[in-house]
């Protein structure tokens, strides 16, 4: 099915309505994985015409993503990556971990963006960043699409290298599943249990009786406040 190529429409709107001169597109990968970090890319593209075939990374084959990523890294004005580790995800929760990874990516850019286009409907960045959320922004916005491809290829490569780094990880097939759910991944978890790279607060452990004792329970700010008798706070 043909797709509409991404455009600079949202970026032009931000420039016109906010006076932003530098606009970054931000996208994440790894949110739903069982293992590995959540990775965020921030990309600044200006208003130049993008490389042919740019779209949301999920609409591209692995081979095409791998071909396109280095082209994009050379084409963008600037880009930076940020990760939040499995341990940070367990300790903070996914929303706060996403913000941590995104801030690390944005702080890695050579120039602080005046505005950010964030893929999705939920602004997990918040103040002081000026954010425009765009549902399916990775398909419609050039900067976000570029960020999605760079982030996906970077994290997939990271997980493949992790899977090849030790015989202890071979059975998990991280090179094939990038830490996401798969029959092979589940079978390895049942047999070997989670590694140091798995998220231990994730619900998959509920289905693994042999390893349930390893599950981490993260207390929300609300629960902590109630336990201590203090005021209710916010929950990530």
For 192-209, how does the pLDDT look when each residue is reduced to its tens digit (9 = 90+)?
999 999 999 999 999 999
Rounded average pLDDT over 54-74: 93
pLDDT reported for residue 165: 87
Mean model confidence pLDDT for the chain: 89
In 3D space, the residue among 183, 225, 176, 179 whose CA is nearest the CA of residue 202 turns out to be: 179
pLDDT reported for residue 167: 87
In the predicted model, is pLDDT for residue 229 greater than 50?
A: no
Residue 128: is the preceding peptide bond cis (ω within 30°)? yes
CA 41 vs. chain centroid, Å, equals 7
pLDDT reported for residue 227: 35
Q: Provide the 10 A C-beta neighbour count for residue 142.
A: 28
pLDDT reported for residue 219: 55
DSSP state of 226: H
Interval 15-28: pLDDT, tens: 999 999 999 999 99
pLDDT reported for residue 236: 22
- Going by pLDDT thresholds of 50, 70 and 90, the confidence category of residue 220 is low
pLDDT reported for residue 217: 84
CA 3 vs. chain centroid, Å, equals 23
pLDDT reported for residue 190: 95
Interval 104-158: pLDDT, tens: 999 999 999 999 999 999 999 999 999 999 999 899 999 999 999 999 999 999 9
């Amino acid at each position: 099915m043909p797709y509409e190529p991404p455009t600079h429409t949202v970026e032009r709107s931000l420039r016109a309505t906010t006076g932003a001169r530098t606009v970054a597109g931000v996208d994440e990968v790894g949110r739903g994985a069982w293992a590995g970090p959540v990775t965020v890319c921030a990309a600044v593209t200006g208003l130049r015409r993008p490389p042919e075939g740019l779209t949301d990374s999920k609409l591209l084959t692995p081979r095409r993503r791998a071909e396109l990523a280095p082209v994009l890294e050379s084409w963008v004005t600037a880009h930076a990556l940020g990760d939040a580790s499995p341990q940070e995800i367990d300790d903070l929760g996914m929303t706060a971990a996403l913000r941590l990874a995104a801030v690390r990516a944005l702080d890695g850019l050579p120039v602080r963006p005046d505005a950010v286009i964030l893929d999705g409907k939920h602004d997990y960045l918040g103040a002081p960043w000026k954010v425009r959320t765009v549902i399916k922004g990775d398909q419609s916005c050039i900067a976000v699409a570029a960020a999605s491809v760079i982030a996906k290829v970077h994290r997939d490569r990271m997980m493949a290298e992790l899977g090849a780094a030790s015989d202890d990880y071979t059975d998990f097939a991280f090179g094939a599943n990038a830490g996401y759910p798969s029959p092979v991944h589940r079978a390895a978890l049942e047999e070997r249990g989670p590694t140091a790279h798995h998220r231990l607060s994730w619900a998959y452990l509920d289905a693994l009786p042999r390893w349930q004792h390893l599950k981490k329970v993260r207390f929300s700010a609300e629960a902590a406040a109630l336990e201590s008798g203090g005021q209710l706070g916010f929950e990530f």
